[in-house]
Amino acid sequence: MDSLSNFNVFMPTKILFGIDRVSEIADVVFDHGERAMIVTYEDLTGLEKTVERIEALLEEGGIAVTKYTKIKPDPGVEIINKGAELANEDGCQVMIGVGGGSAIDAAKAIGVVAVNGGDAWDYAVCNPDVKKYDTSLPTIAIPTTSGTGSEVTPVAVITNQKIKSKGAMSNPVNIPKTAIVDPELMRTMPPGLTASTGADALGHAMEAYISVKATPFVEPLSLEAIKLIWNNLPIAYREGSNMMARANMAWASTISGMMLVQSGATGNHSLAQALGAHLHIPHGVGVAIGTPVFLEYAKIEAADKYMRIAQKLGMETNVDGFIDNVRQFLKDLGLPTDLKDKADKVDMRALVENAMFNAPAALVNTPREVTHRDMDRIISELF
């Protein structure tokens, strides 16, 4: 430590990490109830066997199962509200999110609405009339991608299409009771999804590290997660069945999620959420596009931290060289670096306004102040 500032550590999720840990699901659920809802995707391509197996394991273990397979990427408030209605009709006591961030976030959000009633958007932090709550149904998270970290965070991102905004429910009661992080479930992730979710994990680790709220707990663990991602994501992208790379990515993503809980994301996540709400850009792709741009934006304020990351990655370079290396790393994963092909589809003013509105906490974590004018300039340069 090189300062005497006080800080908190908050990490309440029990993590079962490793190959075939999913086989323990019935025992995990049994601690919370005998009737569970599996929340997963409408399009289960590649996950059919995983969901079938979880359902069978639960039934063998004496757990009654309701399956809610309506989740789409960036789940809308209507889907959450309907899920909550079904959970109450069937008397579900536990939510099990199976999939990427959208499925796990939906499970958390359904648990909130099932217990507290109303509409999912009532609980979004950016809603000026946000309702308070202090209880939810317990959630078990089973990630099948390695990126969002949702399995260990209090955040559930939901989309309100009426006002074209994403927003986050964020409350300690949303934090999953248990996360089963089983790298075997990630084996079938296609390369594009491996790249975009991995870029999200890299964003979480870097943003938590660079955040003005970073603590002596966050700094070494974020650096470790960045190194794991740097060394393993290109391998997982090229050879999906390399289980060492998959396991390292799964662990890096989990650490990155835990770091996000401690010190938060930065303006890059505000931008990524706005790109998702306005242009349907997948979250990880939005994070990848914004990462070098936001590194560039705060390169004077965060120069020392960039150099510490560069050193951890064995780079002998300066701040600009470090940013170029990050840009190239993301490019080599087939991820886009700008949005020039979307220029004719965007309402620039609404996009900028939304980026300033949807995640205010992330904006203030950025080491350099982000004004409306700055966000306008950052976004304009991408198109």
List residues binding Fe ion (CB under 5 A).
200
Distance of closest approach, residue 344 Cβ to Fe ion, in angstroms: 27
Q: How many CB atoms lie within 10 A of CB 61?
A: 15
Distance of closest approach, residue 269 Cβ to Fe ion, in angstroms: 6
* Distance of alpha carbon 152 from alpha carbon 281, whole angstroms: 24
Distance of closest approach, residue 286 Cβ to Fe ion, in angstroms: 9
When the beta carbons of 105 and 200 are compared against Fe ion, the nearer one is 200
When the beta carbons of 96 and 285 are compared against Fe ion, the nearer one is 285
Nearest alpha carbon to residue 92 among 133, 39, 51, 34:
34
Q: Which two tokens stand for residue 352?
A: 């900028």
Tell me the three state secondary structure of residue 376.
helix
Question: How far are the Cα atoms of 173, 311, 331, 365 from residue 184, in angstroms, in the given order?
Answer: 28, 32, 27, 35
Phi, psi of 34 (to 5 degrees): -115, 5
The secondary structure of 287-316 as a DSSP string is: HHHHHHHHHHHTTTTTHHHHHHHHHHTT--
When the beta carbons of 81 and 354 are compared against Fe ion, the nearer one is 354
Distance of closest approach, residue 197 Cβ to Fe ion, in angstroms: 9
When the beta carbons of 138 and 203 are compared against Fe ion, the nearer one is 203
Distance of closest approach, residue 58 Cβ to Fe ion, in angstroms: 29
When the beta carbons of 81 and 144 are compared against Fe ion, the nearer one is 144
Question: How far are the Cα atoms of 5, 113, 128, 148, 291 from residue 124, in angstroms, in the given order?
Answer: 31, 11, 9, 19, 25
Distance of closest approach, residue 140 Cβ to Fe ion, in angstroms: 21
The secondary structure of 111-144 as a DSSP string is: HHHHHH-S-GGGG-TTSTTPPP------EEEEES
Distance of closest approach, residue 283 Cβ to Fe ion, in angstroms: 6
Distance of closest approach, residue 145 Cβ to Fe ion, in angstroms: 11
When the beta carbons of 74 and 200 are compared against Fe ion, the nearer one is 200
When the beta carbons of 114 and 298 are compared against Fe ion, the nearer one is 298
Alpha-helical regions (H) of 117-242:
191-210, 218-238
Tokens 């070494």 identify what position?
A: 220
Nearest alpha carbon to residue 75 among 38, 115, 125, 109:
109
21, amino acid identity? R
* Distance of alpha carbon 124 from alpha carbon 108, whole angstroms: 13
**Which residue in the shown chain puts its C-beta closest to Fe ion?**
200
When the beta carbons of 110 and 285 are compared against Fe ion, the nearer one is 285
When the beta carbons of 37 and 193 are compared against Fe ion, the nearer one is 193
Q: Give every CB contact of residue 51 below 8 A, 6+ residues apart in sequence.
A: 38, 40, 44, 67, 69, 98
Distance of closest approach, residue 257 Cβ to Fe ion, in angstroms: 9
